[in-house]
Amino acid sequence: MNHGENNITVVDEQGNEILCEVLFTFDSDEFGKSYVLYYPIGDENDEEDIEIHASAFIPSEDNQDGELMPIETDEEWDLIEEMLNTFLEEQED
């Protein structure tokens, strides 16, 4: 996973590299992980239809590249949705 300014490259199931913009990241002490929310660049023309993805993020020792992990539990999804809703509300102010 490469970090640009605020972009990450993710590889989908077909092995295609997709450039995504990071919406925001946050840490959870409860789960002992960091999370990243992002969306594919090129979708922002149509904000109604933006598809936001979330992954758990395990930083590596040297902080260069970390590893994106799938979100596995409903508890984690609930936390992510809560953080996303808070983030979106703050954006509207």
Q: What is the pLDDT of residues 30-59, one digit of tens each?
A: 999 999 999 988 755 555 677 899 999 877
Domain of 18?
7-92
Q: With respect to residue 51, please indicate whether it lies within any of the assigned structural domains.
A: yes
Q: Are 18 and 5 in contact (CB under 8 A)?
A: no
Q: With respect to residue 75, please indicate whether it lies within any of the assigned structural domains.
A: yes
Q: With respect to residue 2, please indicate whether it lies within any of the assigned structural domains.
A: no
- pLDDT > 70? residue 20: yes
pLDDT computed for residue 63 by the predictor:
55
Q: With respect to residue 38, please indicate whether it lies within any of the assigned structural domains.
A: yes
Q: Work out how many domains the chain is built from and give that number.
A: 1
Residue 62: pLDDT band with limits 50, 70, 90:
low
- pLDDT > 70? residue 77: yes
Better pLDDT: 47 or 8: 8
Question: What separation in angstroms does the CA of 59 have from each of 34, 51, 56, 63?
Answer: 8, 24, 10, 6
Q: With respect to residue 80, please indicate whether it lies within any of the assigned structural domains.
A: yes
